[in-house]
Structure 1
Amino acid sequence: MLELKNVHTFYGHIHALKGISLTVEEGEIVTLIGSNGAGKTTTLRTISGLLTPREGEIWFEGQRIDGLPAHKITEMGIAHCPEGRKIFGRLTVRENLELGAFLRKDKDGIKEDFERVLNLFPRLRERLKQPGGTLSGGEQQMLAIGRALMSRPRILLLDEPSMGLAPILVQQIFDIIKEINEQGTTVLLVEQNARLALSIATRGYVLETGRIRLAGPAAELMDSEEVKAAYLGG
């Protein structure tokens, strides 16, 4: 469904991604794990068109997308839920969700997805008229994921959904990610909590200073002594 081939991305003169190659198959949850600065967020930003790779290719469902503007990539079915949530604080919960469907014209489909999001996140239903900036951290994360789902993506890019959340909310968010996947949305997940990410993923990639250090089925990575020592506290 999604393939990166030898992707090199720079921030100015800083070489952030140094030849990343990875694949995501339809229906999977694939996770990228690694320490801060490993290139996880840069990988998602490059896929979604916020950054343009200097070398390499990105293919989505048989079409090459590197170099396309971000809104075109969203139209094709890739939604990016960014690190730090980036919701519109002065807009209401309803307005934030409606903005997620900005590129769509199918009114009936939008209504259907609006209900789907509110069923996934019942707390948002209670706060539809409330400004997004007044929500708790967990509610803002729910809103950010819900807004991304309003574009009806084929694949959802999730960047650090557990960041700053209480443990009970983290588990709730991850249960919902699994449910979103079971409903038919493929997921590419970036997450600091490697144990939790690998527990719901099909496969994983370990990034280290802009390169892929390890890759394989999530269960194998969980059992890897190197991964245990570096990321699982083993």
Structure 2
Amino acid sequence: MLELRDVHSYYGNIHALKGISLSVNQGEVVTLIGANGAGKTTTLRTISGLLRPRQGQILLNGQRIDHLPPHQIAQLGVAHAPEGRRIFGRMTVRENLEMGAFKRSDRAEIQRDMERVFSLFPRLRERINQAGGTLSGGEQQMLAIGRALMSRPRILLLDEPSMGLAPVLVEQIFRIIEDINREGTTILLVEQNALMALGVAHRGYVLQTGEIVLQGDAASLEQNEMVQKAYLGME
């Protein structure tokens, strides 16, 4: 479904991605793990068009998207729930979710998808008329994921969904990620909690300073000595 071929991205003169190549197949959860500054968020920003690669190709279902602006990439089915949630703080929960469907005109289906979001995140139904900025951190994360789902994405890019959340909420968010995937949404997951990420993923890639240094199925990565020492806190 999604393929990156030798992608190089820069912030000014800083070479952030140094020839990234990866793939995500339909129906998979694929995770990117790595330390802060490894290039995980940059990879997602490059896929969604927020950062234009200087070299390489990005393909969605065989179609190149690396030259397209972000709104066109979103229309093709790439939804991005960014690091830090980035919800609209003065808008209500309902209005935030409606913003996720702003390019759609199928009102009945939009309402059906909103009900789906509320079934995944019952707390959001309780807060439907509450301003997004007044929600707790966990509720804002739920809203960010729900807003992304409202676009009916082919692939969902999730950037650090557990950041700043209490452990009980982290487990809840990851259960919901599994539910979303079981319902048919393909997911590319960036997550510092490598153990949780590998627990829900089918495959993974390890990034270090803008390069992929390791890849494989989630179970083999979890057993890899380097991954255990560097990211799973094992000696």
Letter in 2 for 1:173: I
Which SS does the other structure have where 2:205 is aligned? strand
The DSSP-based 3-state class of the residue aligned with 1:90 is coil
Partner of 1:226: 226
Distance in 1 of aligned mates of 2:5 and 2:143: 32
Higher mean alpha-carbon deviation, 101-110 vs 199-208, is at: 101-110
CA distance in 2, matches of 1:76, 1:140: 25
**TM-fit CA distance, 1:9:** 0.1
For the residue of structure 1 that corresponds to 2:174, the secondary structure is helix
> Hey, what does 1:73 align to over in structure 2?
73
Report the alpha carbon displacement of residue 183 of structure 1 after superposing the two structures with TM: 0.3
- SS of the counterpart of 1:164? coil
The 1-side partners of 2:226 and 2:123 are apart by 40
Residue 153 of structure 1 is matched in structure 2 by 153
In 1, Cα distance between the equivalents of 2:75 and 2:119?
24
Residues 169-180 of structure 1 mapped to structure 2, 5 A cutoff? 169-180=169-180
In the aligned structure 1, how far is the partner of 2:175 from the partner of 2:103? Answer: 28
**Deviation at residue 67 of structure 1 after TM alignment:** 1.4
* Equivalent position amino acid for 2:222 in 1: M
Distance 1:126 1:228 in 2: 40
Q: Which amino acid aligns with 2:16?
A: A
Structure 1 residues 212-234: Cα deviation after superposition (integer angstroms, max 9, x where no partner): 01000000000000100100011
Match of 1:82 in 2: 82
Tell me the residue number matched to 2:215.
Answer: 215
* Aligned match of 1:193: 193
Q: Aligned to 1:115, what secondary structure does the other structure show? A: helix
Query: Counterpart of 1:7?
Result: 7
- Which residue identity lines up with residue 122 of structure 1 in the other structure? P
Contiguous gaps of at least 5 residues in structure 1: none
Q: CA RMSD in A?
A: 0.4
Q: CA deviation at 1:153?
A: 0.2
Number of aligned positions between the proteins: 234
Cα offset, 1:106, TM superposition: 1.2
* 1:118 alignment counterpart: 118
Q: Name the CA distance, whole Å, in 2 between partners of 1:184 and 1:193.
A: 24
Corresponding residue SS for 2:123: helix
Separation in 1, partners of 2:87, 2:111: 20
Q: Which moved more, 1:102-111 or 1:51-60?
A: 102-111
- Residue in structure 1 matched with residue 96 of structure 2 by the alignment: 96
- In 2, the alpha carbon distance for the partners of 1:136 and 1:98 equals 20
In 2, Cα distance between equivalents of 1:89 and 1:225? 43
Q: Which amino acid aligns with 2:230?
A: A
SS at match of 1:56: strand
Say whether 1:143 aligns with 2:143.
yes
Report what 2:107 is aligned to: 107
Report the residue type matching 2:122 in the other structure. P
| Pairwise CA distance, 1:109 | 1.4
**Cα drift, residue 108 of structure 1:** 1.6
Q: The residue matched to 1:152 in structure 2 has which SS?
A: coil
Could you report, residue by residue, the CA deviation over 1:112-158 in whole angstroms, capped at 9, with x for unpaired residues?
10100011000000011100000000000000000000000010000
Unaligned runs of 5+ in 2: none
Identity of aligned residues (%): 72
